[in-house]
Structure 1
């Protein structure tokens, strides 16, 4: 198969404009899987922030000549298409070719890494947005501690039985929900909360620690039991009043519910697990399983720690990426499965976190702007 740089640029460009043919997709997949560095390039091309910086160099790029060459060598007989749309597609494709060319040149030839992360990279601070049912939104600033809906102006607090709360990369938030439940949200987390007559429900992507209000008394009514359910994908965590942590990425490859007080039921289809304090439900080969945990360590998210208990490096770096708002690129993909243990403050400088991981002698890190490059430790 043809794996020249020019042809790969063409395939990458076309993949952003229209669907590749089966043969083209096979060629691109073959090239991507041929080397870890090729996969890294694809990962970085999907990073809009990195690509945007390279697009700034397009003003000096001869895109017309580039596209003429691109068309002659690779497009062959053009499809029947309106002149105006053809011009538009050519312009976009030419811009992407220029961007990809700059990208290849920059990332395949530039080896000027830094030994330490930029000192401007800081731990997560309070930041996020709350979208209210009435259409208003509230932007959270670093000076806020725990936002309580009981302290909001009457116009904003009224009728909030439905809320959407999100934190960005590099952000965190603590919020007191309308029912009195306290929630500590990790970076890059989305929480969709709503109430019905029979229950309170949260849809969660990311990680949050919950202290659920057992008895809910709206508007001074007689307190009543109202189940609280956290849904993430096809998994439901049901409680009446308890302290627990839920972590789940979008595809549930990293899912866990950790119980500190009370009881919860974790359900996945017909399968369900009842957890007691000191137990955790987690995902194993697509099914939820149970295991014990050390509750004396305390809750990592609420109490401000990273706790790695035989944790895969890929999971650790996902947490670091979200907390410090950095990008992560692997120069060696085998290192992803290496496991680490440790307990570190979430207020630590990124350099301190990196130093602890490197002290194991398993992994090496390099830095460039806002990106961490992860490699296996090489023997001298």
Structure 2
């Protein structure tokens, strides 16, 4: 096999576009004797493409083991493989981080030691030394009596009983259930709050069957049993709702002086205090956003942007894929200012952000999984030349 052919196969592999039949060709070639020199030359070409150079020997055996043991290609004896569905828009960030992933994961300690020896000017040595992990399913449930219960993805048990309501945590989801209607009025006075920390997210099934997803650093407060006239709760941060239909009992969300009226619908509310803006996005159904005498009825695909610093609300059409990316396990950047991007990184990875330099006008486009290691994520950012990054403890330093 020629170096150019091998380079095409390796490139398709790191971009997650390698077909099963091409994977078999690649593995068959790597089983042949004498492949090491051509493989080394192909890897050097990839390193050159990434602006990396080294005089250290390339560990062909380690790279070979990394490829042939790839679990994605072992779903059957025939190596059947269903490729991941990449976003239709802005795929560059996935490709960039995949390239870094090939270096960091397949080349393992060889590359890290080479970087730490200062053999490159690509400024990733500090990024590669972090123990920071992505966020996960975790939250704190505060009961009406002030009792706090820690929740995580492993919980699978009844965590509390209040009145006639049983509260159960099941693998990242909190469920309220009652088989009796006695003492309904007294239960309306019992207020519960569930809050996610930075680096956390959680799902709740409310007493009326409404499903709620909380993003990082978010919370909702709600009665144990809703009243007969309305279902009202308050929230902070970012929350996605799938409201159980009940025309006789409207659903109301209070957030920073804004009221959202719902009958039965799917919508997202993003209201982080430091964003200075409440974004209410309708996915399905109909909602009305109101503040004082101001009223706005939304259609699916529309977003109400209510300023927290000025008395105005603007209605815009948005990309629902972008709005719901967090709920679906992704970051989605659509010409997004770098500082706003780093806010999302800060909330999910539970890190502080420090800036050294002026980043006005710097924007990112791309989609990437929230499960990505922060080292690969930042290395992908660096590949775009937008900034350089250093990690010190739980602080990410952004530099020109």
TM-score by length of 2: 0.58
Q: Which residue of 2 aligns with 1:203?
A: 234
Alpha-carbon distance between aligned partners in 2 of 1:184 and 1:117, rounded to the nearest angstrom: 32
CA contact (8 A) 1:214 1:225 kept: no
Q: Which residue of 1 aligns with 2:114?
A: none
Offset of 1:240 from its aligned partner? 0.9
Q: Which residue of 2 aligns with 1:352?
A: 376
Alpha-carbon distance between aligned partners in 1 of 2:153 and 2:315, rounded to the nearest angstrom: 37
Equivalent runs, 1:192-231 vs 2, <5 Å: 192-194=221-223, 195-215=226-246, 225-231=248-254
Q: Which residue of 1 aligns with 2:280?
A: 257
Alpha-carbon distance between aligned partners in 1 of 2:354 and 2:212, rounded to the nearest angstrom: 31
Change (3 A) 1:346 1:256: same
Q: Which residue of 2 aligns with 1:370?
A: 394
Q: Which residue of 2 aligns with 1:240?
A: 263
Offset of 1:368 from its aligned partner? 0.8
Q: Which residue of 2 aligns with 1:189?
A: 218
CA contact (8 A) 1:114 1:368 kept: no
Alpha-carbon distance between aligned partners in 2 of 1:237 and 1:357, rounded to the nearest angstrom: 37
Change (3 A) 1:189 1:337: farther
CA deviations 1:144-173 (Å, max 9, x no partner) are 221111289x9xx99375211111111111
Offset of 1:270 from its aligned partner? 2.5
Alpha-carbon distance between aligned partners in 2 of 1:317 and 1:246, rounded to the nearest angstrom: 20
Residue aligned with 1:133, SS: coil
Q: Which residue of 1 aligns with 2:150?
A: 139
Equivalent runs, 1:1-380 vs 2, <5 Å: 115-116=126-127, 118-143=129-154, 144-150=171-177, 159=187, 162-194=191-223, 195-215=226-246, 225-250=248-273, 253-283=276-306, 286=310, 287-295=312-320, 299-332=324-357, 334-335=358-359, 338-376=362-400
Unaligned 5+ residue runs, structure 1?
Answer: 1-111, 216-223
Change (3 A) 1:363 1:260: same
Unaligned 5+ residue runs, structure 2?
Answer: 1-122, 155-170
Q: Which residue of 2 aligns with 1:26?
A: none
CA contact (8 A) 2:267 2:280 kept: yes
CA RMSD of aligned residues (A): 2.8
Offset of 1:193 from its aligned partner? 1.7
Q: Which residue of 1 aligns with 2:90?
A: none
Alpha-carbon distance between aligned partners in 1 of 2:192 and 2:319, rounded to the nearest angstrom: 33
CA contact (8 A) 1:279 1:291 kept: yes
